Structure formats: structure tokens, C-alpha cells
């Protein structure tokens, strides 16, 4: 029998319905796994076993009566410590956040999960205020890769990715302002979706503004569709949230990719140096899309790297995050965060508006591109996971995390849905991710294509190695 911690959320719900196992058994197994992996990967800020088992017991009783509260009743979920989860502090990876207070409100996505009976295992790690593409912070230390603990899990939702990869809950809530669900998912070998901006409401509003998305991090595309069906509904606290979705994302999974127009851009027109073994793994998956009936053309979108504009938007957002802090509190911050905040403070309103102009032009170009192509396919990240505890690979000559994430942050600027699918491993045995991007509001197409890859056996996640197997520690 497959271990309970290896089952997807869809499989768990089916098992509950059939009476094959209970939410209490599943929650105990997930908590045990979380406690065993924590010393090696540091995925959690805190676990909440008592609350989790109480909710699991209530769920078990509902299933016994045949009256589940919703689509994810009894399914273990983790929450990135950027999102509010009532009953405990949201520290955002920072020693400057006061843990005292009432902490009596859920973020919208958390509230929807609570209404439908999900079981919260605890909060997962993040870099301070989610500012970079790896996960380490002065508060919680370094989060490590399930496949090799000497390597980074990526970020900023690194704890969430490591937890899902190692069986500590099949569903995780992450946030993505420049790649922060896709980067760690690619490095850890799981699935993640950055939905169209506004599809999942966010409250409190992010200081990084409309760059920041809430997204599912899961074992496969079907689980992400299930989770998006739950959390992708309006909430009155987010003025920029979209209206109700046009239909069920789960029902939209079927249909395959036959006839879809797919543009494959291996390096964004020569702008990105992709490691050869990463490129080869992505190309093999793209060839499989063609085998499945997609019309695949090697074509680059009409864009140039918007990194300078992204930095203006990102660094000014970071400066806003810490604006309320006094000098002593600022000394507690990650030195890299202090550095980009200082850069943000030096930029003017005109600099910001010029960056918005670049963003709007990029959005226009991608809107036009998607009149010709249903999907854009790229590598998710041009490299595999590097040394844990570093913002950039040693010896790379890069200064900031954006130097090695050129495939991800442009689509935060355009607000498009983008997902990463694991497509095997590189020569070093570490996972490789393929990115699927669609026009705004076409989350269904991204999920449908990803699901087709999973059904074809392409998206199967690699088993963690390096002494961290799903069945052990």
C-alpha cells in the first residue's frame, strides 16, 4: 500500500469517501513526517499538532456522517509564514516583527480552506518579507533542498516546496512576487502555479503591490486545480480581486493539448544562458507535448529583459515594507534586504512611473503574443539548485537573485498565469522545471497542459535523495 504521505489531495479525498483511511490517520502521518524532516531541511517556522489533530477529528466525524464540509475536508495543508493564519503570529521571517498580539484573522485563502475543513499543519519558512529567490532568514536560518541538503530549496516559498516534496502535507499555500512559488517548486521537483493576478485574493495587501500573487504548491496539477477551486474566489478585503471564476478548474483539466498552439522559447531569444542538461530535459518534455498533439513552434516572445524596471518596483516595495521600522529594528534585518531597501529609498516617483511604463508595454507585447500562441514554454530556472545559504551561486559573478531567475519575474510584471512542472533531473541528479505561461485569465489552459504532461508520465516528481527519502529521514 502506498504510504499515506505519498498520496495526493485528490487521492486522500477519494480514500476518505470510500472509508479506506481517516483524516486522523493521514494527519498523524503528515505531522510525523514534518517532525522527522525538520532537522534536515528546516521547512517549518512552527508546527501546530494539537490544532491539526483536533480539526482532523472533526473532519473524520463529518466524513463518517457523509457530510464533508468541502472539497478539501481533512486534507493536510501548510501555510507560508507570509499569510495570516489565526491563532499564531505571522513573523514573515523577520526578527523585527513583534510576535505579541491577537493574531485573530485568516488571510482570504486560509479562510476559504478553513471553511472547507482543511487541516493546517503549521507555517512554512520564508526569507525576510519574501524578498529573495532563496529561503534563509535571520529569524529561522537556512531551508535546504530535499534532494541534497547542501543545496538551497529556492525561495521565497522554499519551506512550502520542501514540505510538499517530502510528504509533509500534499497542499501548500505560497506567495510569488518574482517567481517565489515556481523557483522552489522547480528546485524541489514539485508543481506550482502562479495564478492570474487577483484570482486568489490577498489580504493584507502586499507592499510589493500587484507583483505579488498567492498560489498553490502541490504534488501535481490536479491537486493545484482542486486547491485553486477552493481559494480562487472573491474576498471583500481585496479590492483588486477578480470576480468568480468562469468554471471549475478541476473540470477544465480534461481535453489534453491536441491542437493547442505552443511557442517554445529555450532561452528568450538568446537572452538567457541555460545550462545544457537543464535545456535538454526541458526540450524532451516539449517534444512530448508535440507527440500529444500540440502545435509546437520554436518562437521567442517580443520582450527584452525588464530587470531594471522590476528592480525599481521590487526595491521600492521593500523600502515600503520596512518604512515603519526604527534604527534598532532595521539592524535586525537581513543585510541584503537592508541594501535593496536603501536602493529603493533613493528612487523617485518618476523612476517608479517609468518602471510602470515598462511593465505596461511588456503586458501589451505579451497580450499580442498570445493572440498567436495559446501557451509559452520555457525552462523555469536556467540552473539547478545551488549552495544553501547564498543568494546567488558562488563564482557566478551575479549580484542579486534576479540574475538567475530571468524566466520568472517578467510574468509577475504581466500578471499572467505561469506554472512549473518537474520534467526529470539534470546531470547532478537535481530536479529541472518546465514553465508554462498563458494569457491573463487562462489559468485553465496552464493547468490543462500541465495535467496532460502528468498523465503522459512526464511530470512525475523525482524521488528525493541525499538521505531524505519520502519514507525516511
- The C-alpha angle 310, 228, 176, rounded to 5 degrees, equals 20
Q: What are phi and psi of 78, to 5 degrees?
A: -115, 155
CA separation (Å) from 461 to 128, 167, 350?
28, 12, 45
Q: How far is it, in rounded angstroms, from Cα 352 to Cα 211?
A: 14
Catalytic residue among 94, 157, 180, 206: 180
Catalytic residue among 59, 94, 137, 156: 156
Q: How far is it, in rounded angstroms, from Cα 151 to Cα 143?
A: 9
Residue 39 exposed, middle or buried by CB count within 10 Å (0-12, 13-18, 19+): exposed
Active site residue 59: no
Evaluate whether 4 touches 29 at the Cβ level (below 8 Å).
Answer: yes
C-alpha cell at 424: 526529470
Catalytic residue among 22, 59, 80, 206: 80
Evaluate whether 18 touches 64 at the Cβ level (below 8 Å).
Answer: no
Q: How far is CA 208 from the centre of its chain?
A: 16
Residue 457 exposed, middle or buried by CB count within 10 Å (0-12, 13-18, 19+): exposed
Q: How far is it, in rounded angstroms, from Cα 454 to Cα 351?
A: 43
Using only C-alpha atoms, the chain has a radius of gyration, in whole angstroms, of: 20
Active site residue 194: no
Active site residue 156: yes
Please measure the distance between the N-terminal and C-terminal CA atoms of the chain and give it in whole angstroms: 20
Q: Which neighbouring-strand residues pair with 119?
A: 76
Q: Which residues are catalytic?
A: 80, 156, 180
Amino acid at each position: 500500500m502506498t504510504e499515506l504521505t505519498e498520496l495526493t489531495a485528490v487521492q486522500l479525498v477519494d480514500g476518505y469517501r470510500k472509508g479506506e483511511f481517516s483524516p486522523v490517520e493521514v494527519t498523524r502521518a503528515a505531522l510525523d513526517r514534518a517532525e522527522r524532516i525538520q532537522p534536515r531541511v528546516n521547512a517549518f517556522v512552527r508546527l501546530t499538532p494539537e490544532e491539526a489533530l483536533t480539526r482532523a477529528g472533526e473532519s473524520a466525524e463529518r466524513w463518517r456522517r457523509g457530510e464533508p464540509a468541502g472539497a478539501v475536508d481533512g486534507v493536510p495543508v501548510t501555510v507560508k509564514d507570509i499569510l495570516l493564519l489565526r491563532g499564531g503570529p505571522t513573523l514573515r521571517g523577520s526578527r523585527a516583527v513583534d510576535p505579541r498580539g491577537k493574531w485573530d484573522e485568516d488571510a482570504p485563502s486560509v479562510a476559504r480552506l478553513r471553511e472547507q475543513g482543511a487541516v493546517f499543519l503549521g507555517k512554512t519558512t520564508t526569507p525576510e518579507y519574501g524578498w529573495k529567490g532563496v529561503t534563509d532568514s535571520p529569524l529561522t536560518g537556512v531551508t535546504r533542498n530535499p534532494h541534497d541538503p547542501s543545496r538551497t530549496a529556492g525561495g521565497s516559498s522554499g519551506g512550502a516546496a520542501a514540505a510538499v516534496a517530502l510528504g509533509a502535507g500534499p497542499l501548500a499555500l505560497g506567495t510569488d512576487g518574482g517567481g517565489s512559488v515556481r523557483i522552489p517548486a522547480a528546485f524541489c521537483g514539485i508543481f506550482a502555479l502562479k495564478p492570474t493576478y487577483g484570482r486568489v485574493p490577498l489580504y493584507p495587501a502586499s507592499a510589493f503591490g500587484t507583483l505579488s500573487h498567492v498560489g498553490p504548491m502541490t504534488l501535481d496539477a490536479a491537486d493545484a486545480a482542486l486547491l485553486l477551486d477552493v481559494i480562487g474566489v472573491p474576498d471583500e478585503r481585496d479590492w483588486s480581486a477578480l470576480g468568480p471564476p468562469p468554471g471549475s478548474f478541476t473540470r477544465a483539466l480534461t481535453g489534453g493539448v491536441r491542437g493547442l498552439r505552443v511557442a517554445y522559447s529555450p532561452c528568450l531569444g538568446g537572452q538567457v544562458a541555460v545550462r545544457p542538461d537543464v535545456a535538454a530535459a526541458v526540450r524532451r518534455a516539449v517534444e512530448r507535448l508535440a507527440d500529444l498533439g500540440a502545435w509546437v513552434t520554436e518562437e521567442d516572445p517580443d520582450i527584452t529583459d525588464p530587470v531594471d524596471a522590476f528592480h525599481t518596483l521590487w526595491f521600492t516595495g521593500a523600502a515600503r515594507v520596512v518604512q515603519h521600522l526604527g534604527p534598532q529594528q532595521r539592524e535586525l534585518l537581513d543585510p541584503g534586504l537592508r541594501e535593496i531597501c536603501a536602493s529603493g529609498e533613493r528612487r523617485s516617483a518618476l523612476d517608479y512611473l517609468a518602471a510602470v511604463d515598462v511593465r505596461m508595454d511588456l503586458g501589451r507585447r505579451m497580450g499580442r503574443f498570445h493572440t498567436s500562441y495559446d501557451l509559452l514554454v520555457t525552462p523555469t530556472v536556467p540552473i539547478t539548485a545551488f549552495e544553501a545559504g547564498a543568494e546567488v551561486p558562488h563564482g557566478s559573478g551575479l549580484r542579486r537573485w534576479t540574475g538567475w531567475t530571468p524566466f520568472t519575474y517578467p510574468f509577475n510584471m504581466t500578471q499572467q498565469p505561469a506554472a512549473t512542472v518537474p520534467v526529470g533531473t539534470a546531470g547532478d541528479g537535481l530536479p529541472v522545471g518546465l514553465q508554462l505561461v498563458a494569457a491573463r485569465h487562462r489559468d485553465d489552459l496552464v493547468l490543462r497542459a500541465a495535467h496532460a504532461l502528468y498523465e503522459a508520465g512526464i511530470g512525475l516528481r523525482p524521488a528525493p535523495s541525499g538521505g531524505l527519502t519520502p519514507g525516511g529521514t
